[in-house]
Amino acid sequence: MSHPCQHCGACCARFRVAFHWSETTDFDPAGMPVELTEPLDAHRVSMRGTDSRAPHCINLDGTVGGRVSCRHYERRPSPCRDLVAAWEFGAPSPQCDRARAAYGLAPLTPESWKSDA
Ligand code: SF4
Ligand code: SF4
């Protein structure tokens, strides 16, 4: 079974993705390339494309609800790592549900993670 997030991407095109600048390559060579971010305030940056009325992260490849991927998945910042897909680890995720609903996608359920789903 492929991971449900690989056929979604809604959260990457729904929320502002803001994080401390030290997660960028300005501080951490393994961090998010700083040129893919923009300054937000004195301490934070946001992923380009997400501080907008119609957020869409610059790293998101594909169409929401179709086949998607993150161009810098291994370097993704803490908000992306912290947003857990609903029921992936046995718990609900209101953020995941809200993002999916905004694109007309049904919420994930525990059944979504069964291999024959
Ligand atoms: S909205 Fe949920 S299912 Fe969709 S990519 Fe984000 S975490 Fe994954
Ligand atoms: S960095 Fe990757 S995981 Fe994070 S919002 Fe952008 S596309 Fe999504």
What does the pLDDT look like over 12-57, one tens digit per residue? Answer: 999 999 999 999 999 999 999 999 999 999 999 999 999 999 999 9
Residue 17 gets the label, from left (phi > 0), alpha (psi -120 to 50) or beta, of beta
**45 strand-pairing partners:** 19, 39
* pLDDT of 113 above 60: yes
Give me the pLDDT at residue 25, please.
98
Find out whether 113 and 87 touch, Cβ atoms under 8 Å: yes
How close is the Cα of 32 to the center of ligand 1, in Å? 20
How close is the Cα of 80 to the center of ligand 1, in Å? 10
**Cβ(64) – ligand 1 distance below 6 Å:** no
Pairing of strands 37-39, 60-62: unpaired
CA atoms within 13 A on the CB side of 117: 12
**Cβ(36) – ligand 1 distance below 6 Å:** no
* pLDDT of 66 above 60: yes
**Cβ(17) – ligand 1 distance below 6 Å:** no
**What's the pTM?**
0.95
**Cβ(18) – ligand 1 distance below 6 Å:** no
